[in-house]
Amino acid sequence: MADRYARVVVDSRLPQLDRLFEYRVPPGVEGVEPGVRVRVPLRGDRMTSGYVVEVADARAWEGEVADVEKLVSPVPVLRPEVWALARAVADRAAGGAADVLRVAIPGRQARVEKAWLERTGSEAAPLPPLPDVPERAPVLPGLVEARRRIALECAGGVAAVETADGTAWIGRWAIALAALARQALERGEQAILVVPDHREQRQLRLALEAAVGVERVVELDARQKNPERYRGFLRCLDDEPVAIIGPRSAVYAPAARLGLLVVWEDGDPLLAEPLSPWVHARDAALVRQGQSGCALVIAGHARSTDAERLVELGHLEHERVGTHRVRVLPAALADDGRRVPAAAFAAARDALASKPVLVQVGRPGHAPGLRCADCGSRGRCAACGGPLGQRSRGAAPACRLCGRLAAGWRCPSCDGRRLVPVGRGSSRIAEELGRAIPGVPVVVADGDHERLAVDARPRIVVATRGAEPVADGGYGAVVLLDGDALLAHEGLRVAEEAVRQWAGARALAAEGAPVVLAGVVGPAAAALTGPTTVPFAKAELAERRQLRFPPAVRTASVVGTPDAVAEALEALGSADHLDVLGPVPVAGDDARPGEEAHRAIVRFPYNDGARVAGVVRARVLAAASRPRRPGAPARLRIRLDDPEPFDGL
C-alpha cells in the first residue's frame, strides 16, 4: 500500500514553527487520522507533540520527510472546525495557532480517555428526551432557527428553579439563556454558553438542568482539575445535542453542529485570555459565528461598548428581555466622611424587617490602608515599599503587594510605632453596620470568604464587587458603596466597568426593592437609574470614537529593541487611517543600561486588521531569527487590542 502523509501542527510557541509540517505515516503506526495527537521528530531526533490536521496519500513537501514517531491517542481531539477557528483567531491576533490550541484542548488524561472510549464503544446510551418545562413566556422564539445575531440586555431579578436538592434561586438572565439553549437542542444542535466565572456558571447550570435535563448539560469548568475538564471535553466530541457551559476557553469547545453561541457578561475582564495571544472570548465567538453560521448572543445586564459598536455597525441586533422594577436612589455622602449615607440606612432598616440586604463595597479586608497615628504619613512596607493594610480587625499589618508582615513597624519620618486604619474594607464596613443595626446578623462575601447564595432570612450581606451572593427571593435593598472611589480612578473603561458591576448587584434586588447608589452623580449614575444602559454605552462609544480610543479603533502595541520597533513601524507604512503613538522608551524587565526597550502603539480601523496583523506577524518572525542574548526577551513583541496602555487615560 502507498504511504500516507500527515500534516501536523506542532505544539510550539515559536512563531517560526507556526505552520503545518508533513510527516510520513510509517507502516507500524496505526490510527493516524485528522485530529489525533501524535509525537513527531523536529530537527533531528528531538520529539515534539502535535495534532494531525490532515492526512493525504501524496506528499506536498519536496524536502526530506520524517516519520510520525507514534500515536499519542486515537481520539480526534482537534476537530476541523476548531482548527479553522484557532487558525483564524490566531491570525486576527497576530499570534500562533498552537497557543490558541493550548487553551482550546485540555491535557490528555489516559484514565478518563479509556473510560470514555469503552463507554462509546459499547452501550452509547441514548439521551433522554428534553423535559417538559412549565409554561413561561417564550424568550425570543425562533432566534436559533433564524440564525440571528443579537446584543442582549437582560433585565435583572431572581427566580426559583427546581433542582435535585430542592429549590434554588438564580438570576433570571440564566433562565432566559437556558431557554435559548433549548431552542438549539430542540433542533438537534449544540449550544455553547460562555460565562466569566464559576459563580455565573453555577446559576446557568441550574437553569439549564431545569430547561434541558441534567444529562444534556456539559461543564467545561476551568476550576475543575484536568481529569474533570477532559471528561467534559470528551463528552462534547460525542456530537449529541447538549448545552456546553464553561469559562472563556469554552468558546473553543468541539461542537460539530453548533446552533447557538452565547457570551454572558461580555464586558467582564475575566473573558480576556491572560495568555498569548490574549484573545477575548467575545472576539473568538465572533470569528466562530462567522465560520459556523450559528446564532450568536452577546449578553449582559449592562451593554458593553464593544457590543454596542457591533449594534451600530448592523452586525448585531439590539434586544432586551425581562422586566425588573427597582427604585434606584442616588444618595449624597454624609459630610462626616462616613461611607454609608442616611438614605441607605433607612432603606436597609426597612428592608431588614423581612429580607436580607446587600451592601456592595470596593475592597476586601478590614483596612485597605494604614497611616502613622502620630504624623499621618502613609504606612509602607520596609522591604518593597508597597502599601500596608489590615485583613481583619486586630490583625498584624501586612504589605498588600508582597504580603510581608510589618511586625515592629517604625514610622520612617517621626519614629512613631502606632498605625491607624485608612479607608474601610468589607469586614470593617460589616462591623460598623452590625453595631449600627444591632440584632441583625452580618455576613461578609469577598475573595477570602466565598459565598454563592444566602437564604431569605433578614441579614446584612457585605460583598466586594463581583462576589455578591444570590439571595433567595432577592434582596430587600441593595446599597452600592465606594462608587466615588471607583470612579476616581483614571482609566478608559472605569465608568463602563462601574456601570457593569452596579448593574450586576442591582439585578439581585427583589422586585420593587430600593437600590441606593452612594456618592455618585453624572452619566454613570444616570445609566443605573434609567431603564436601560444602552444610551450610556452609546455615549461612551461616541466619546471613544472622537478620541480614537478602543473599541472605536483597534490597537497594536509594539514592544522591543529600538531597531526592531522602528522596522515594524516602517513595514506598517503610513496612511491616513493609521496613527502611531511613540515610540517611547519603556522601563521594564528588559530595560538594560544602554539598550532600553521601545514601545509604540498603533491605532488602526477594523477593516485594516487583517493587513496589520499580517505585517506585524511577519516582523515578529523576522526578529525571532536574529540573535539575542540567552534569557533576553524576544526582540519584538506584539499585542493586538491590549487594553493596558489605555487604562491610565
List of residues contacting DNA (CB under 7 A): 14, 16-17, 20-24, 41-44, 61, 63-66, 624-628, 634
For the chain, what is the radius of gyration of the CA atoms? 27
Measured from the CB atom, the residue of 32 and 430 that comes closer to DNA is: 32
Contact assessment for residue 565 and residue 615, using Cβ atoms and an 8 Å cutoff: no
DSSP string, 489-518: S--TTHHHHHHHHHHHHHTTBPTT-EEEEE
Least gap, CB of 389 to DNA (angstroms):
39
Q: Which is nearer to DNA, 10 or 82 (CB)?
A: 10
CA 57 centroid distance within chain = 42
Q: How far is the CB of 7 from DNA (least distance, A)?
A: 7
Nearby residues of 595 by Cβ (< 8 Å), 6 or more positions away: 561
Output 63 or 648, the one with its CB closest to DNA.
63
Q: Can you say how many angstroms the Cα of residue 263 is from the centroid of all Cα atoms in its chain?
A: 10
Between 14 and 649, name the residue whose CB sits nearer to DNA.
Answer: 14
Shortest distance (Å) from residue 107 CB to DNA: 20
- What's the min distance (Å) between Cβ of 453 and DNA? 48
Closest CB to DNA among 40 and 152? 40
Q: Show the DSSP H helices in 259-359 as ranges.
A: 281-292, 305-313, 342-351
Q: 306, 441 in Cβ contact below 8 A? A: no
The distance of closest approach from Cβ of residue 617 to DNA in the complex, given in angstroms and rounded to an integer, is 14
Q: Which is nearer to DNA, 582 or 633 (CB)?
A: 633
Which phi and psi (to 5°) does residue 619 adopt? Answer: -70, -40
> Which three-class secondary structure string do you get for 73-136?
ECCCCCCHHHHHHHHHHHHHCCCCHHHHHHHHCCCCCHHHHHHHHHHHHCCCCCCCCCCCCCCC
Is 98 or 326 the residue whose CB approaches DNA more closely?
98
Rounded to whole angstroms, the Cα distance separating 100 from 13 reads 10
Largest CA distance in the chain: 89
Pairing of strands 327-331, 514-518: parallel
Q: Which three cell numbers stand for residue 60?
A: 506536498
Please name the residue that has the C-alpha cell 475538564. Answer: 229
* Residue found under cell 456592595: 360
Of 17 and 382, the one with the shorter C-beta distance to DNA is: 17
Query: Rounded CA gap, 459 and 439, in Å?
Result: 9
Residue 629 burial (CB count, 10 A): 8
Nearest approach, Cβ of 315 to DNA (angstroms)? 38
* 471 and 508 Cβ atoms separated by less than 8 Å: yes
CB of 49 to DNA, least distance (A): 13
* Spatial contact of 113 and 37, defined as CB atoms under 8 Å apart: no
Closest to DNA by CB, 64 or 132: 64
Q: Cell numbers 508582615 correspond to what residue?
A: 405
Measured from the CB atom, is 61 or 606 closer to DNA?
61
CB atoms within 10 A of CB 65: 14
Question: Which residue, 26 or 386, has its beta carbon nearer to DNA?
Answer: 26
Report in angstroms how near the CB of residue 52 gets to DNA at its nearest: 13
Other Cβ atoms less than 10 A from the Cβ of 102: the count is 17
Cβ distance to DNA smaller for residue 65 or 420: 65
**Taking the complex as a whole, how short is the minimal distance between the CB of residue 23 and DNA, in angstroms?**
4
Nearest distance from C-beta of residue 84 to DNA, angstroms: 20
Strand order in the sheet with 149-154: 217-219, 243-246, 190-194, 258-264, 295-300, 149-154, 317-321
In the complex, the smallest distance separating the C-beta of residue 636 from DNA, rounded to whole angstroms, is 11
Minimum CB separation from DNA for residue 69, in Å? 11
